[in-house]
Structure 1
Amino acid sequence: MSLEVSPAVERAGSVARGRAERAGSPTVRLSDWLLGVLEEDEGRPFELLVRLGFDVRALQRQLEVSPPIPAPSTDAIYTAAKGHSIRLRGEPSLTTDLVMLAVMMVNDSFRAALERYGIRVGVVEHALRSDMMAAPDTIEQPPAEFVAAEPVDQSDAARILDANLNRARESLRVLDDYARFSLNDAALTEELKRLRHRLADATELLPPSLLLQSRNTLGDVGTTISTAGEFQRATPRQVAAVNFKRLQESLRSLEEFGKLDDARFAREVEQIRYAAYTLERAVLTGSAGRERLAAARLYVLLTGSQCVNTMDWTIAEAAAGGASVFQLREKQLPDRELIALAHQVRKWTHKANALFIVNDRPDIARLVGADGVHLGQDDLSPHDARRILGPDPLIGVSSHSLAQVRQAILDSADYLGVGPTFPSTTKGFDQLAGLEFVQAAFAATTLPAFALGGIRPENIAEVVAAGGNRVAVSAVVAEAEEPQVVARQLFGALSDVSSG
């Protein structure tokens, strides 16, 4: 096609095709396309839907399980998006928000499904039209008298771009090495690799000969200026933190000076900078979670009605058997009773030298001084929970698919619950993720992850064989006459697994 396609649109198409391939679908589905354009939290489609008040996370979950509706060809989608661009903006540019609109409107059944999911396509279309109508107000008006523009020294701007592209690429390589070799985390390494590719794609919008010809390393006065702090690093995590800041500063300079050469380049660099902020939070928060949970292997979820003995005795016994994290999971108690019980559990876990997590309720966790909160897919987002808890408490997230694992990592979860592995007597599940998912999740990330769902001494060897080095259990300990014995059996099966 002669139509100009942005790097972000190309990535969305690549994600859509990849999703179809992994699902074994012979054709790309409309849900694949929409998930592709919503892949990046900092992308224009995602931000537009959030601005309109739509629940994008809920939409993504619905799309994961929605009935498959085949998409038309890529050319057909691009042509439809081009038509929307001409109709709404008066020019044939092709951006991800227009591709999103084309996907939403190309099939009546798909549009109706989106309406059922709470996405009003007409509202999206109106917002894109309104953005276009508001655009002229943002354009600076020329002065009353003609003033000749200052000539732009292209070589100076190119020299700045070249230097900052080098800085950004170098920082990304350092961060890639940290994620790959220090954290040994496949998911974060893949995210940083994706960011490097985005920068490379954006760089193709600039004339390469101009950048090389403008380079003057010997004449750069900055090469002889340094500070003592530049050569002082205490830990690999500090190296990563410093390089995230270096990356973001370089991207900001690229964005500003890039406007002199190509507005498309500047816009894409802006989106890369936003993505870098998200990854910084994920990498550095995850590093802290890894440190705090490094020795944790056995995690016990407790409900008062489930314990055959008193809860304080159950905690003490399970901790003696190797449990080091306890979660209070009370769904039915009124808030006043829940707070009173949580205060008690805080005392009991302190005495047992164990971490205390509250299920679902960051407000309760903060009130009683718990060590953190655990969230399900339908609970508050990690971002909102963090606003309640503050920077230090742990946030865990239940994950039932690799897409949810990836999202939890980007949302800066400190640890993951992975499953359900086996049928559970404590909680019913519509579908078991199974051992295959446990294996894939533990291979995807070294963020602390606890396999959960129906795990008992009789089947824990299967979890270990699948790569699970941490487990979360409930009834098998709470209903045991001797919780310490059961905990010791579970912990013993995990103790020989190399730490992750």
Structure 2
Amino acid sequence: MLNSNTTNAEDLRIYQIIDANLDRAREGLRVLEDWARFGLGKEKYVKRIKNFRQILGRNHLEIYKQSRNLIADKCKGLNHREQINRNTSEKIISSNSGRVQEALRVIEEFSRLHNHELSKIASEIRYEIYTIEIDLLSLSKRKNSEEILRENDLYVITDQKDNLLEIIEEILIAGVRIIQYRFKTGTDKDNLQEAIKIKNLCKRYDSLFIINDRIDIALASNADGIHLGQDDLDLITARKLLGFSKIIGISANNESDISNALKDGCDYIGIGPVFETATKKGKKPIGIEKIKTLTKDLDTPWFAIGGIKSNNISYLRRNGFQKVALVSQLMNSEDPKEEAIMILKELSHEN
């Protein structure tokens, strides 16, 4: 309960501090709430954050508001150059989460003697915001990854090459936004080091970096996601290990595999092989018509894979295939950048 027996200058200054920080905390919470609502569409977080705003509003006592102009604030309107660097949703989330956390800490300290109930409330909400910040950042990262999957039609899978980093940068420059790092030989140490370098390249070009099969390498390199085959670790276990900020793709070639992948919450599906391919020797192609049947009601992003080259993409497009995954066509190209540009134009119907 507020102890307001005295109204000396020190009390007024404390009331001003509490008033200013209640405003800051509620403003920051509103930013987080609106992002959860409009940016992410996550009702659960909207309700939680709105509830915090209402609790602080109920405890924003009149005596705090009345103290606002009794002692002049000579530092009003001060800004910092870092404010102009908040140019992504992630930076806005982090800065406003920090704003709320700092404001609540100030309230907690300065209301301890005057209003123990408010001090306790500030402490409880502050610890909740630590978790909410991480959740909102993870959800934002996942949303960005999902948008890249939906908006981009070319998915490139790497092969092991001495100049792999050069090839990847060339195709990233060309406009490719999805790279899967696939390796079958070499030591874990070397593969992880290469994965980290590719991840840094993809980050520079705002592209997705996905690891084939290996969850440990995906976690250690901070990949954006992982691609799993039918004989790899199951999707539910992979999600538990990776968390919900990462995307998970699944290879499938029949109705049952696709149904299970969707039920377990995959983010995209690789369907094939469409044609015969040296990458999957001995695996029988499932063909155009079968894939059309499998995908006719499929809303989740899917990529046709297996034997796809620049000279058969137009044929796939005529049959309604929108997204394709390539391996050898770009990995073995003498000019991977130009090759990638031509394939992207073919996929977008540009001439």
Which of residues 332, 343, 348 is equivalent to 2:196?
Answer: 343
Which of residues 205, 210, 213 is equivalent to 1:357?
Answer: 210
Partner residue of 1:404? Answer: 257
Q: Are 1:492 and 2:345 an aligned pair? A: yes
Partner residue of 1:432? Answer: 285
Task: Give 1:400 shift.
Answer: 0.6
3-state SS of the aligned residue for 1:403? helix
Contact 1:438 1:463 in 2 (8 A): no
Contact 1:298 1:322 in 2 (8 A): no
Contact 1:419 1:437 in 2 (8 A): no
Task: Give 1:292 shift.
Answer: 4.2
Partner residue of 2:105? Answer: none
Equivalent residues in 2 for 1:50-199, closer than 5 Å: none
Which of residues 224, 227, 233 is equivalent to 1:371?
Answer: 224
Return the structure number with greater relative CO, CA threshold 8 A, min gap 6.
2
Contact 2:212 2:226 in 1 (8 A): yes
Q: Are 1:414 and 2:267 an aligned pair? A: yes
Task: Provide the rounded CA distance (Å) in 2 between the counterparts of 1:469 and 1:390.
Answer: 29
Contact 1:416 1:447 in 2 (8 A): yes
Task: Provide the rounded CA distance (Å) in 2 between the counterparts of 1:466 and 1:489.
Answer: 20
Which of residues 291, 295, 310 is equivalent to 2:147?
Answer: 291
Q: Are 1:395 and 2:248 an aligned pair? A: yes
1:337/1:445 CA distance change after superposition, 3 Å:
same
Partner residue of 2:70? Answer: none
1:370/1:233 CA distance change after superposition, 3 Å:
closer
3-state SS of the aligned residue for 1:323? coil
Which of residues 320, 330, 336 is equivalent to 2:173?
Answer: 320
3-state SS of the aligned residue for 2:170? helix
1:429/1:387 CA distance change after superposition, 3 Å:
farther
Partner residue of 1:480? Answer: 333
3-state SS of the aligned residue for 2:155? strand
Where does structure 2 lack aligned partners over 5 or more consecutive residues? 1-32, 47-141
Task: Give 1:322 shift.
Answer: 2.8
Task: Provide the rounded CA distance (Å) in 2 between the counterparts of 1:289 and 1:320.
Answer: 19
Aligned length: 222
Task: Give 1:387 shift.
Answer: 1.6
Partner residue of 1:91? Answer: none
Task: Give 1:484 shift.
Answer: 1.4
Which of residues 235, 256, 260 is equivalent to 1:382?
Answer: 235
Q: Are 1:471 and 2:338 an aligned pair? A: no
Contact 1:290 1:447 in 2 (8 A): no
Q: Could you give the per-residue CA deviations for residues 378-409 of structure 1, whole angstroms, max 9, x where no partner exists?
A: 00011111122111111000011122111111
Partner residue of 1:457? Answer: 310
Which of residues 304, 309, 314 is equivalent to 2:160?
Answer: 304
State the identity %: 31
Task: Provide the rounded CA distance (Å) in 1 between the counterparts of 2:143 and 2:297.
Answer: 15
Task: Provide the rounded CA distance (Å) in 1 between the counterparts of 2:202 and 2:145.
Answer: 19
Task: Provide the rounded CA distance (Å) in 1 between the counterparts of 2:192 and 2:238.
Answer: 18
Task: Provide the rounded CA distance (Å) in 2 between the counterparts of 1:292 and 1:383.
Answer: 23
Where does structure 1 lack aligned partners over 5 or more consecutive residues? 1-228, 243-285
Task: Provide the rounded CA distance (Å) in 2 between the counterparts of 1:289 and 1:419.
Answer: 23
Task: Provide the rounded CA distance (Å) in 1 between the counterparts of 2:45 and 2:306.
Answer: 36
Task: Give 1:414 shift.
Answer: 0.6
Partner residue of 1:252? Answer: none
3-state SS of the aligned residue for 1:484? helix
1:424/1:240 CA distance change after superposition, 3 Å:
farther
Matching residue's letter, 1:412: G
TM-score w.r.t. length of structure 1: 0.41
Task: Provide the rounded CA distance (Å) in 2 between the counterparts of 1:390 and 1:429.
Answer: 35
Matching residue's letter, 1:377: Q
Task: Provide the rounded CA distance (Å) in 1 between the counterparts of 2:198 and 2:204.
Answer: 10
Matching residue's letter, 2:150: A
Task: Give 1:317 shift.
Answer: 1.3
Matching residue's letter, 1:329: R
1:287/1:432 CA distance change after superposition, 3 Å:
farther
Partner residue of 1:144? Answer: none
Q: Could you give the per-residue CA deviations for residues 111-168 of structure 1, whole angstroms, max 9, x where no partner exists?
A: xxxxxxxxxxxxxxxxxxxxxxxxxxxxxxxxxxxxxxxxxxxxxxxxxxxxxxxxxx
Task: Provide the rounded CA distance (Å) in 1 between the counterparts of 2:341 and 2:146.
Answer: 23
Matching residue's letter, 1:299: Y
1:408/1:480 CA distance change after superposition, 3 Å:
same
Task: Provide the rounded CA distance (Å) in 1 between the counterparts of 2:261 and 2:145.
Answer: 13
Task: Give 1:234 shift.
Answer: 4.6
Contact 1:288 1:414 in 2 (8 A): no
Task: Provide the rounded CA distance (Å) in 1 between the counterparts of 2:204 and 2:342.
Answer: 22
Task: Give 1:290 shift.
Answer: 4.1
Task: Provide the rounded CA distance (Å) in 1 between the counterparts of 2:305 and 2:227.
Answer: 13
Pairwise CA RMSD of aligned residues? 2.8
Task: Provide the rounded CA distance (Å) in 2 between the counterparts of 1:386 and 1:322.
Answer: 29
Task: Provide the rounded CA distance (Å) in 1 between the counterparts of 2:180 and 2:319.
Answer: 24
Task: Give 1:448 shift.
Answer: 1.1
